[in-house]
Structure formats: C-alpha cells, structure tokens
C-alpha cells in the first residue's frame, strides 16, 4: 500500500469532493433541457472525466478508482435527496460503469502523448455513459430522450476538446504529487 503525503491526501479529498459536486449538479441540470437536443447536464458532467483523469495521472489507477467509488456513493446519495430518484439511479449506474472504463482506458494509454489518454478515455467512456444514462433515465417517459442523448453526446465531445487545455495545465501543477507507477 502506498503512503500518501499531505499534498496527495488533499488532492485525493479534493477529487472526491469535486466528483460528488459535479455529478450531483449534473443530475439536477439534466432535468433542464436547453432544447430538444441537449440538457444543461451535458455541459457539467464531462468535468467528472477531467477529475478522474487528473487523479489517475497524478495518483495512479488505485486511487482514481477510489475517487470513482467514493464519489459514486456520495453523488448517488446526494442525487436521491435533490434530484429525481430515477435519474439518480440511472446516473449512478452509468457513472460507475463509464468512470471505471475511463480509468482502464486512460491507464492503458497513459505513456503515450499527454493528450491521447484523456481524449480517448473520455470519448469512449462518455459514449457508454450517455447510452446507459438516457435509456435508464428517460426511456418510456415520452420525453425526447433519443435526441437529448445525441445532443448531449455531441456536447460532451465539445467539452472534451475544451477541457483538454485545463487538463494540460493541471498536470503541470500536479506533477510534483505524482506517485510512482507501482501504485496500482
């Protein structure tokens, strides 16, 4: 087991709190469509992948999974309290599957050019998340969930492009916290 220094513990706690806040906010915002093509949640949720990828790069796979699991539990509890329960359950299911997939893909690509791991993992995991979430949350409701899913995925792709620059800046700041690769 890897011992964390104070900076790493603070970073881990910040990741967990950020994950909880982003997912809870997204579960509220997804109930507010911008139009028939996407919801406000599509603009906030991709930040969860940024949190996972920065944690994975900085603290390793094991601690990235810890952020995902603890963030998952906290976000589902918070979402059940403040959002529609069906959305909270759909979100939790999609979140857990997609974020764990993101961790695996990122880890496999981490030694390539700095941008490949976060871009590939976010694009693939966002697709999986979108499909699972919209089917579970809105199928059979009569709402235009098909077009919301397409539009939300398109917005998530745009957010991947937008968030790659903050990722680059954050990895420069967090590099001194980086653990040795044995922290799996």
**Does residue 184 sit within a domain?**
no
Supply the pTM of this predicted model.
0.88
Distances in Å between the Cα of 153 and the Cα atoms of 81, 109, 132, 149, 157 are: 26, 22, 12, 6, 6
Tell me, yes or no, whether 181 lies in a domain. Answer: no
Q: Is residue 64 domain-resident?
A: yes
Residue 113 belongs to a domain: yes
* Regions in the chain scoring below 50 on pLDDT: 180-184
Taking the C-alpha atoms of residue 116 and residue 114, their distance in angstroms, rounded to an integer, is 6
In a domain, 182, yes or no: no
Structure confidence at residue 182 (pLDDT): 37
- CATH number of the CATH domain containing 62: 1.10.1760
What is the tally of structural domains in the chain?
1
């Amino acid at each position: 087991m890897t011992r964390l220094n104070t900076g790493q513990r603070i970073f881990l706690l910040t990741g967990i709190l950020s994950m909880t806040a982003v997912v809870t906010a997204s579960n509220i915002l997804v109930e507010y469509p911008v139009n028939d093509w996407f919801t406000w949640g599509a603009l906030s949720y991709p930040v969860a992948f940024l949190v996972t990828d920065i944690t994975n790069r900085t603290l390793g796979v094991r601690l990235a999974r810890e952020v995902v699991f603890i963030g998952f539990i906290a976000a589902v509890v918070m979402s059940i309290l403040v959002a529609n329960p069906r959305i909270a359950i759909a979100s939790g299911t999609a979140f857990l599957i997609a974020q764990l997939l993101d961790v695996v893909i990122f880890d496999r690509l981490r030694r390539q050019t700095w941008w490949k791991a976060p871009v590939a993992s976010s694009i693939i995991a966002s697709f999986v998340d979108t499909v699972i979430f919209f089917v579970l949350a809105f199928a059979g409701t009569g709402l235009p969930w098909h077009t919301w899913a397409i539009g939300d995925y398109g917005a998530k792709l745009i957010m991947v492009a937008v968030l790659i620059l903050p990722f680059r800046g954050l990895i420069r700041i967090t590099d001194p916290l980086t653990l040795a690769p044995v922290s799996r």
